[in-house]
Amino acid sequence: MSALHDFSVAQLAAKLAAKEVSSVELAQHFLARIQSQDALGAFLATDEAQSLAQARAADARIAVGEHTPLLGVPLAHKDVFVTRDFPTTAGSKMLANYRSPFDATVVNRLGSNGAGMVSLGKLNCDEFAMGSGNDNSAYKPVQNPWDISRVPGGSSGGSAAAVAARLVPAATGTDTGGSIRQPASLSGITGIKPTYGRCSRYGMVAFASSLDQAGPMARSALDCALLLSAMAGPDLDRDSTSLDMPAADYAAELIAANTKAAGSHPLQGLRIGLPTQFFGAGCSADVLAAVRGALAELEKLGATLVDVSLPLTELSIPVYYVIAPAEASSNLSRYDGVRYGHRAAEYTDLEDMYKKSRSEGFGDEVTRRIMIGTYVLSHGYYDAYYLKAQKIRRLIAEDFQKAFTQCDIIAGPVSPTVAWKIGERSDDPVASYLADIYTLSSSLAGLPGMSVPAGFGAHGMPVGLQLIGNYFKEAQLLSTAHRFQQATDWHQRKPGAAA
Which positions touch ligand GLN (CB under 6 A)?
129-132, 155, 175-179, 207, 324, 436
Annotated active-site residue 78? The verdict is yes
Q: Which is nearer to ligand GLN, 105 or 316 (CB)?
A: 316
Largest CA distance in the chain: 74
- Nearest approach in angstroms of CB 238 to ligand GLN is 21
Annotated active-site residue 402? The verdict is no
Q: Which is nearer to ligand GLN, 175 or 253 (CB)?
A: 175
User: 51, 137, 179, 442: which is the annotated catalytic residue?
Assistant: 179
d(CA 77, CA 105): 12
d(CA 77, CA 86): 10
Burial of 261 per CB tally in 10 Å (0-12, 13-18, 19+): middle
- Nearest approach in angstroms of CB 394 to ligand GLN is 20
User: 15, 51, 78, 122: which is the annotated catalytic residue?
Assistant: 78
Q: Which is nearer to ligand GLN, 147 or 175 (CB)?
A: 175
Q: Which is nearer to ligand GLN, 32 or 430 (CB)?
A: 430
Listing DSSP states for 268-305 in one string gives TT-EEEEEGGGSSTTS-HHHHHHHHHHHHHHHHTT-EE
d(CA 160, CA 498): 13
Q: Which is nearer to ligand GLN, 16 or 76 (CB)?
A: 76
- Nearest approach in angstroms of CB 427 to ligand GLN is 16
- Nearest approach in angstroms of CB 465 to ligand GLN is 19
CA angle, residues 89, 91, 94, in degrees to nearest 5: 60
Pairing of strands 304-308, 271-275: parallel
Q: Which is nearer to ligand GLN, 151 or 272 (CB)?
A: 151
- Nearest residue to the partner ligand GLN, using Cβ: 179
Annotated active-site residue 19? The verdict is no
Listing DSSP states for 226-254 in one string gives HHHHHHBS--TTT-TTS-SSPPP-HHHHH
User: 112, 132, 137, 155: which is the annotated catalytic residue?
Assistant: 155
- Nearest approach in angstroms of CB 435 to ligand GLN is 8
CA angle, residues 60, 65, 68, in degrees to nearest 5: 90
What phi and psi, each to the nearest 5 degrees, are found at residue 465?
Answer: -95, 130
- Nearest approach in angstroms of CB 232 to ligand GLN is 18
Q: Which is nearer to ligand GLN, 347 or 375 (CB)?
A: 375
d(CA 95, CA 305): 47
- Orientation of helix 221-231 relative to helix 250-260, angle to 10°: 140
- Nearest approach in angstroms of CB 417 to ligand GLN is 14
Residue 130's contacts (CB-CB under 8 Å, 6 or more residues apart) are 136, 155, 207, 328, 365, 366, 369
d(CA 419, CA 456): 11
Residues with catalytic function:
78, 155, 179
